[in-house]
Amino acid sequence: MTQLETSSFDRSLLLLVPATLFMIVLFVYPFLYGLQLSFRPAEGGWLANYAKFFATDNLWGTIGTTLKLAVPATVINLGVALPIAYQMRNKSRYQKWITTLLVIPLTLGTVLIAQGMLGYFGPKGWLSQALQFLHIYEDPIRLTHNYWGVLISLIISGFPFAFLLTLSYITGIDPTLPRAAATLGASPWNQFRHIYLPLLVPGLAMAFALSFVQAFSVFPSAVLLGSPAGATRVISIAAYEAAFEQYDYSMASAVAMVMGLVQLIVVVAILSARGMFYRGPVSGGKG
């Protein structure tokens, strides 16, 4: 009996082989290859690429530029997604329709969103023409090819992702908990403050981390809607220029490693900070 159980257990481990191979081929090997490539600069010692990155204003400054875009976009997306998801926590006949409308940007893609923004927010776009026609604002409004264009694009493209994550965490909280609190005289605000919010903190931290990683890797929006040589020269553009304009793949790998390190630091900080507010299960669970 013991031998049969051991044999069965060993065979079940084979189910992990495809997923393990997939992770190794598509994630582990490329990361390790890029890491060792970053320590093989064309000139200088093994840390020459990293020394060049942090000694060049045009390179290390891209970290701050990217953070100035990714952090506000993530905060805005979660700040807007939370109250909307909270209002939609209970099923209704309109829930599916509203959810569908809110997640439409996921189906459009970055390029299509950028094209729409150029036609709507540009100096000669619909918004500028409408404001001038109504004599609200006479000068052309420029919300493209600058910081604001990229930020708006990140909000539009990232909001559905943040909303779906937040909605999944809120609907996972046992609805009997706020009902019990209501029977004890708790107001809707107190229910949210003392029941929903503590249970949502771990989920919101995870949603923030994932949304931040998505926003921090911005590239098409910074090129199509921003100023890639100026205000929106993000770190991904620096990596692209090193790889495909200077053909310095070692330097490009170093920039990519720095980019990953910054993302890891922020994610670890967010996930560590959530323990300061709540220690317990990730969600309330249903039933």
Query: What are 245-254's pLDDT values in tens digits?
Result: 999 999 999 9
Which H/E stretch holds residue 272? Answer: helix 249-273
Spatial distance between the Cα atoms of 17 and 145, rounded to a whole number of angstroms: 47
Cα separations (Å) of 257 from 23, 29, 127, 199, 228?
Answer: 18, 14, 40, 34, 21
Under DSSP, is residue 70 helix (H, G, I), strand (E, B) or coil? helix
Q: What is the DSSP letter of 196?
A: I
Residue with tokens 């690429």: 49
- Chain segment 25-64, per-residue pLDDT in tens: 988 999 999 999 999 998 888 999 999 999 998 899 999 9
**Per-position DSSP letters for 232-254, written without gaps between them:** T--HHHHHHHHHHTS--HHHHHH
* Neighbour count for residue 67 (Cβ, 10 Å): 17
Tell which residue, 41, 93, 8, has the closest CA to residue 257.
41
Q: How far apart are the C-alpha atoms of 33 and 25, rounded to whole Å?
A: 11
Nearest to 151 by CA among 230, 233, 69: 69
- What local confidence, expressed as pLDDT, does residue 280 receive? 56
Q: For residues 215 and 162, is the Cβ–Cβ distance under 8 A?
A: no
Cα separation of 71 and 215, whole Å?
A: 8
- For the chain, what is the largest distance between any 2 Cα atoms, rounded to a whole number of angstroms? 85
Tens place of pLDDT per residue across the chain (287 aa): 455 444 555 677 788 888 889 999 988 999 999 999 999 998 888 999 999 999 998 899 999 999 999 999 999 999 999 999 999 888 777 888 888 888 888 888 888 898 888 888 887 778 888 887 787 877 777 888 899 999 999 999 999 999 999 999 998 888 888 889 888 888 989 989 888 988 898 899 999 999 999 999 999 899 999 988 888 999 999 999 999 999 999 999 999 999 999 999 999 999 888 777 655 555 444 43
- Give residue 279's pLDDT: 58
- Residue 255 CA to chain centroid, in angstroms? 19
d(CA 47, CA 122): 44
Provide CB contacts within 8 A for 115, sequence distance 6+: none
DSSP 178-234: HHHHHHTT--HHHHIIIIIHHHHHHHHHHHHHHHHHHHHT--HHHHHTS-TTTTT--
Q: How many CB atoms sit inside 10 A of residue 77's CB?
A: 28
User: Torsion over CA of 171, 176, 178 and 184, rounded to 10 degrees?
Assistant: 180
* Residue 229 tokens, joined: 């040589």
Give the span between the Cα atoms of 65 and 231, in whole angstroms. 7
